[in-house]
Amino acid sequence: MKIDWQEYEDGGLDPEMKRKADELLKSSPKARQELEGLRQFRKALRKAALAEPVPARSLRDRLRQITRPARQSAGWRWAGAAVAACALAVAAVVFMPRTPGQIAPSAGSPVRLATSSVPQAHQFASRHASFSVPTVQLAGTASLDGVECCQTFVCYDFMLDGELYHVKINEEPCTIGEVVERDGMQFRDAAYIAFESDGLTYRVSGGTEEGRWIIAEAVAQERASASTRA
């Protein structure tokens, strides 16, 4: 009797042939060896094909590139609304009729220092912010361009591949955007990329999306290392 062991393996034998095949397997070592050979062959094939390297990260990035236009358009809509709101606020301040002697409010207004020195930027920001300002050192990833701060926030500016990025730090938690996990850390992906560390929220904006992720991940890793050291 001849059994098609491939049919047997794939469940294609009719019940009668299946019964005969099972009987043969019980009585014939050669039949068992033959079936085992087929199983080993399939296993070896699967193992070989699955061992091939897959550029998983690059594929994930390509997937995000495809879905990005939809996200960008939503982001730009928010950005547009924010710009319009700021313009209205500025116009209101500039054109608002003032009584003689009245001065524009200065308390809490942001001040800026152009510097590439991280300690200098940190010292400057610490003088103005009402919270304990962290040092953000991205040497090797991006260069510091300056710092802007007031009582409620500190914003470090970084240059990466000719693009300007802002890392804004404050105590307001971020609740918008999709939660994304990268390298064991949680981010929020909205018009900017946000994450929390030691009670502060870091928001990375500006530049390109790819650049924002590079900066956000670098800052997050830097903060994680700083927390560990502390």
Partner 1 sequence: MRRDFERQVSKELNVLYRVARRMGCKPEEAEDCVQTCLLKAFQAWERFDGRHLRSWLITILRNERLMAIRSQKPEISLEESNVEEGIEEPFWDEVSWKMQAERILEELEHLPENFRMTLHLCDVEQMTYEEAAKAMDVPIGTVRSRLFRAREMLRKRLTPVGTELSRATT
CB 82 within 8 A of CB 75: no
Report the residue from 26, 27, 48, 100 that binds partner 1 according to the rule CB under 8 A: 48
Give the strands of the sheet with 111-113, arranged side by side: 111-113, 143-149, 153-160, 163-170, 200-206, 193-197, 185-189, 178-182
Report the residue from 51, 96, 104, 230 that binds partner 1 according to the rule CB under 8 A: 51
Report the residue from 56, 96, 107, 230 that binds partner 1 according to the rule CB under 8 A: 56
Report the residue from 19, 20, 60, 112 that binds partner 1 according to the rule CB under 8 A: 60
CB contact set of 53 (below 8 Å; sequence gap of 6+)? none
Across the strands, what pairs with 197?
200
d(CA 87, CA 122): 30
Q: Pattern of binders to partner 1 over 69-98, x per CB under 8 A?
A: -xx---------------------------
Question: Does residue 5 bind partner 1 (CB under 8 A)?
Answer: yes
d(CA 182, CA 92): 42
Is the CB of 49 or the CB of 107 nearer to partner 1?
49
Residue type present at position 68: R
Is the CB of 13 or the CB of 200 nearer to partner 1?
13
Q: What are residue 196's phi and psi, to 5 degrees?
A: -115, 145
CB 133 within 8 A of CB 155: no
Question: Does residue 62 bind partner 1 (CB under 8 A)?
Answer: yes
- Sign (positive/negative) of CA torsion 89, 92, 95, 98? negative
Q: Pattern of binders to partner 1 over 141-180, x per CB under 8 A?
A: -------------------------------------x--
Token pair for residue 79? Answer: 């950005």
- Taking the complex as a whole, the smallest distance from the CB of residue 6 to partner 1 amounts, in Å, to 5
Question: Does residue 33 bind partner 1 (CB under 8 A)?
Answer: yes
**143 three-state secondary structure:** strand
- Taking the complex as a whole, the smallest distance from the CB of residue 224 to partner 1 amounts, in Å, to 25
CB 64 within 8 A of CB 178: no
Question: Does residue 230 bind partner 1 (CB under 8 A)?
Answer: no
d(CA 157, CA 110): 14
Question: Does residue 1 bind partner 1 (CB under 8 A)?
Answer: no
- Taking the complex as a whole, the smallest distance from the CB of residue 181 to partner 1 amounts, in Å, to 12
Residues forming the site for partner 1 (CB under 8 A):
2, 4-7, 10, 12, 30, 33-38, 40-52, 54-56, 58-60, 62-67, 70-71, 178
